[in-house]
Structure 1
């Protein structure tokens, strides 16, 4: 919810356009529902009012092929976009659909397809029509799963380290968007799945309809962004990366519990190849090890935490690391920690267990564990490949909690992490100031 109260869609669209920091081609994700139809129309009207020739619009519809009516609905959306003079493409989610976790799979596929369209239409930012109602439902669902404070839906997300996705209507109520459409005699498509109680979000929506709304102080977003900024500075001062993929937190960096509560779960996700940070119980266990101040070791989130006099060391545990085979020209994720690109003319396999020297500068046990979890390239016979093959295989760090979806809340910490690992920085957010506040 917007801290200064719900916004009208016209106001939200104008504020968003004013905040863009460079000439932009905006890709509007439109399903035909009231929210996305309202978003497109509000942006069209705002652009006409300002005559800003630096900004242009295009649109895309993702047909998930989960309902028989979806193809016809996509055609209706295409006709609506055509009536507005907006270039529009339809992308169909092809292939076999997951039998469980369908909503998460559809979300991932949807953003990948939108990224493909953005590249085709030369768009540099995508906008989706999440609303204040979606935010309220998300916060309620997360509260039911965890007592930890949640930031809810982020207003700005970087997808696949490449494309920023913004949610301009996150401060708008759905009914205000529908009033906006009714005033212009514009209809929308109602998706029956939005009323199907087999989905958790629908059940929560029905429950919330009978409850008074409780104001939220920016949904914890400002607090989390401030923690990310503090943790970014902490990384620069107290964190060191050693080869092969050994993280070390210096003793002086172990005293700030508030920063550790933010940084340790995310470092664990990076070193363990996990999409989400450690949960509160595991984080408390790791911090308990630190606060006892005695040398010790524990495993959490596929990471071995080893407390020594020289600080806290983090390495991937050597269990559960699966091989990855790639044909020529293919790319893939190995252990969700490394992106591997096979530029060689031969099939390769990536295994765990790269042999290497045990340096006397670091604890021998830590180094041995790290080498046991380090990627090794082998050929079809399981032998070390020719130099002409291995030199054409690119292996680069992959940060599982950030490289697919990075919220603007965590941007500064993730960018500081990229610097610590010597990888390319994340692209800067494309928005500047909204009402004097930095985004």
Structure 2
């Protein structure tokens, strides 16, 4: 470690390569700035020095097409990669750009295009050039919005359930990386947006850095977050049940658990059942926790979720308001209501909408059951362990393995509310017949996890996948972190 507590770039890269599971093909995201250019050259130097055929590099540049000269810059990066013998791809952000929220939209587009490049180049993982300077700026910005301790930028994020994005220089400073580039006689591109003070990060960057002694010990914060994720996953095993893939239930004992665990678990369950990418804000979470711990039966709504507190626990279901239809053309895929991934394998367009009492939803009964196919049909509450869902892996149970009681023991109002939140599929004005439904891929979607999942939340999210009987998340492509075997 260096005197100011950051790792030297060459050492950071050697440790990163040592930590990788092998064989590994790494896609380097290169924008042409000093951080990503330094990352590319550091990795190239280390891989060639080690002469390890089990590790190879490829690279990609995303041209956001937001300013003149970006295409020429992409060509310069391509030339640099060619000189190093590294396969390179340029991906262009096509289409009309939003007039507001451009930075967030560009980030979303960038990672999608990088994933496409990784797939095309046969990469196993993606690396980006985020530095300790980026980390400091992020902590500063989040500190201005909340008094809660932030985990900052994660060192590993799973994107779209497909590719892990790793940041090997997250504890190296930009000054060290630029010193390395000067040593190699390599220049870099300065993006004009990095000087535009209309962006918050630029304004924060120009402020004097905080006292190093007062900065968050980010590694300790990460360890605490990982431990909390693990404890919350155990809480799921002991206290949470899923009924019919739509209705969650927290046992009474689970509501008396440690407040930090309950805050973490209920916040993320609220986001999942509400189809929201983020947990509720602090104010909403205080209301939810106070209601859950109050012990007085009743209902409240927060984060698009109805919380129904009864003697046998707390029930969670999507509220019926604001559920918008989703239309998909043949071959198209999308996320309905932030809760279900849908792919249309038919030759006609389909529409997913909230179920009605007479609409067959995505849920149906196993062949052994003689009960009617429609969830709204009389006798629905007599279903026992027979609810199954069509997913990308076929027809599988979505009732949690811990549930053995009959649906008739569930509160009628809570179960009906859950049913009303199920997706019903139709085509050309008619609900799909069972044989047509088999051409539709539909699986639960976890809005706070399935697009961007940090390694801090991985344990909880993966346990939740088991509860919903969906495929597990891809494991980290690392055999160790900070020298510790995982």
Asked if Structure 1 and Structure 2 have the same fold, meaning a TM-score greater than 0.5 normalized by the shorter chain, the answer is yes
Offset, 1:329: 1.8
Matches within 5 A, 1:417-428: 417-428=464-475
Matches within 5 A, 1:24-423: 24-209=24-209, 211-213=210-212, 214-218=214-218, 220-256=221-257, 257-355=259-357, 356=375, 357-358=380-381, 359-381=407-429, 383-423=430-470
2:476 corresponding residue in structure 1: 429
Task: Report the CA distance shift for 1:244/1:126 in structure 2 as closer, same or farther (over 3 A).
Answer: closer
Task: Report the CA distance shift for 1:390/1:131 in structure 2 as closer, same or farther (over 3 A).
Answer: same
Offset, 1:2: 10
State how far apart, in whole Å, the 2-side matches of 1:261 and 1:275 are.
Answer: 17
Task: Report the CA distance shift for 1:399/1:2 in structure 2 as closer, same or farther (over 3 A).
Answer: farther
Offset, 1:4: 9.0
State how far apart, in whole Å, the 2-side matches of 1:386 and 1:194 are.
Answer: 54
Contact 1:3–1:217 (Cα < 8 Å) also in 2? no
SS of residue matched to 2:314: strand
Offset, 1:390: 2.1
Contact 1:377–1:385 (Cα < 8 Å) also in 2? yes
Contact 1:140–1:204 (Cα < 8 Å) also in 2? yes
State how far apart, in whole Å, the 1-side matches of 2:2 and 2:417 are.
Answer: 48
TM-score (norm 2): 0.87
1:10 corresponding residue in structure 2: 10
State how far apart, in whole Å, the 2-side matches of 1:183 and 1:333 are.
Answer: 48
Offset, 1:278: 1.2
Contact 2:126–2:164 (Cα < 8 Å) also in 1? yes
Note the residue ranges of structure 1 that are not aligned, 5 or more in a row. Answer: none
Offset, 1:21: 1.4
Task: Report the CA distance shift for 1:337/1:324 in structure 2 as closer, same or farther (over 3 A).
Answer: same
Q: Which moved more, 1:411-420 or 1:329-338?
A: 329-338
TM-score (norm 1): 0.97
2:392 corresponding residue in structure 1: none
Contact 1:346–1:389 (Cα < 8 Å) also in 2? no
Q: Which moved more, 1:370-379 or 1:407-416?
A: 370-379
Q: Deviations over 1:329-349 (max 9, x none)?
A: 221111010011111222221
Contact 2:152–2:218 (Cα < 8 Å) also in 1? no
Task: Report the CA distance shift for 1:101/1:2 in structure 2 as closer, same or farther (over 3 A).
Answer: farther
SS of residue matched to 1:35: helix
Q: Deviations over 1:101-135 (max 9, x none)?
A: 00000001000000000011000000000000000
Contact 1:303–1:315 (Cα < 8 Å) also in 2? yes
Task: Report the CA distance shift for 1:438/1:197 in structure 2 as closer, same or farther (over 3 A).
Answer: farther
Note the residue ranges of structure 2 that are not aligned, 5 or more in a row. Answer: 358-374, 382-406
Count of residue correspondences: 437
State how far apart, in whole Å, the 2-side matches of 1:421 and 1:434 are.
Answer: 29
State how far apart, in whole Å, the 2-side matches of 1:150 and 1:2 are.
Answer: 24
SS of residue matched to 1:25: strand
Task: Report the CA distance shift for 1:349/1:188 in structure 2 as closer, same or farther (over 3 A).
Answer: same
SS of residue matched to 2:235: helix
SS of residue matched to 1:143: helix
Contact 2:245–2:468 (Cα < 8 Å) also in 1? no
State how far apart, in whole Å, the 2-side matches of 1:6 and 1:299 are.
Answer: 45
